[in-house]
């Protein structure tokens, strides 16, 4: 018959909460955590985006741009999700970010604005924590460069998303962005046809203030938004030995 210690070393859980590790020390088992953010898919379009496969995503962020006065427009998608709008910035072109946590996902996923000339870009990611939205900021500029304003995430491993809307009459498009941001999609402004739109992201390992500069190809009355979202980090090993009364059990 197995002794209690042999039983525990075989991997049984003590009272459903503790195990003996390979060194024979009683420890808590690892805590399950969300893995870090990973970009799974992206798309862009005018009025309605091209289709993407959002399978595996638990956070989708959409950037919508359009004509001043139409900033109350919402978005819809082909999977019937409900969207949370963030604050809008309004120049000749408005910009607003929307997000959906734990969306219905899959292949053939498209996103639509309120008008056929609205610019849209979208990114789908895994790794978001529950109630992911954290910080936001935004501004406008009549120039070839724009900064949305500084944000400082409240914790490590956050996703930074920046969206830019460009006036349709400018024929402007994305040129460059700094601060380690990566442009996932950019929809060029086309004269009297569609508003320009850029969505960029960064997965920030250590929380720090960030205020990226986006440069576009032609001066115009544009707007920008930036938002941060909370994500997990890969879990480590066990949580260490159990200590009671100053001595290690096991």
161 part of a folded domain: yes
90 and 180, same domain (yes or no): yes
C-alpha to C-alpha distance for 73 and 93, rounded to whole angstroms: 13
Looking at the structure of the chain, the number of domains it has is 2
79 and 184 in a single domain? The answer is yes
The answer to whether residues 111 and 15 belong to one domain is no
Per-residue model confidence (pLDDT) at position 31: 44
pLDDT at 119: 97
Query: Is residue 237 exposed (0-12), middle (13-18) or buried (19+ Cβ within 10 Å)?
Result: exposed
Q: Are residues 1 and 79 in the same domain?
A: no
User: What average pLDDT values come out for the chain (250 residues) when binned by 10 residues?
Assistant: 51 48 60 75 98 98 96 95 98 97 98 96 98 98 98 98 96 97 97 96 97 97 98 58 35
Domain that holds residue 13: 1-32
Residue 237 lies inside a defined structural domain of this protein: no
Q: Which two tokens stand for residue 114?
A: 């309120």
- Can you tell me the distance from the alpha carbon of 188 to that of 170, in angstroms, rounded to the nearest whole number? 10
- The answer on 3 and 83 residing in a single domain is no
Same domain as 196, residue 94 = yes
179 within some domain: yes
pTM of the model: 0.81
Residues 21, 62, single domain; the answer is no
pLDDT of residue 35: 73
Give dist(CA 211, CA 162) in Å, integer.
Answer: 10
Residue 3 lies in a domain: yes
Output the 3-class SS for 90-149. Answer: ECCEEEEEEEEECCCCCCCECEECCCCCCEEEEEEEECEEEEEEEEEEEEEEEEEEECCC
| Shared domain check, 212 and 110 | yes
Q: Indicate the SS3 state at residue 34.
A: coil
45 and 22 assigned to the same domain: no
Q: Do 23 and 51 fall into the same domain? A: no
d(CA 44, CA 72): 20
| 247 within some domain | no
Please indicate, yes or no, whether residues 63 and 9 belong to a single structural domain of this protein. Answer: no
């Amino acid at each position: 018959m197995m002794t209690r210690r042999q039983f525990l070393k075989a991997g049984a859980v003590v009272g459903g909460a503790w195990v003996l590790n390979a060194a024979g020390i009683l420890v808590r088992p690892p805590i399950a955590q969300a893995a870090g953010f990973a970009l799974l898919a992206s798309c862009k379009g005018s009025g309605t985006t091209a289709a993407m496969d959002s399978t595996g995503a638990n956070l989708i962020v959409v950037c919508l741009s359009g004509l001043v006065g139409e900033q109350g427009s919402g978005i819809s998608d082909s999977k019937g999700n409900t969207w949370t709008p963030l604050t809008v910035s309004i120049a000749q072109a408005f910009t607003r970010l929307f997000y959906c946590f734990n969306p219905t996902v899959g292949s053939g996923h498209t996103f639509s604005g309120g008008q056929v000339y609205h610019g849209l870009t979208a990114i789908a990611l895994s790794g978001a924590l529950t109630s992911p939205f954290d910080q936001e900021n935004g501004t406008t500029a009549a120039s070839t460069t724009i900064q949305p304003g500084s944000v400082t995430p409240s914790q490590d491993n956050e996703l930074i998303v920046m969206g830019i809307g460009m006036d349709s009459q400018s024929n402007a498009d994305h040129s460059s962005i700094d601060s380690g941001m990566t442009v996932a999609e950019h929809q060029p402004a086309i004269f009297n046809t569609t508003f320009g739109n850029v969505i960029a992201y960064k997965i920030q390992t250590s929380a720090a203030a960030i205020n990226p500069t986006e440069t576009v190809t032609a001066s115009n009355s544009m707007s920008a938004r930036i938002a941060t979202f909370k994500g997990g980090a890969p879990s480590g090993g066990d949580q260490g030995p159990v200590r009671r009364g100053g001595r290690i059990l096991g």
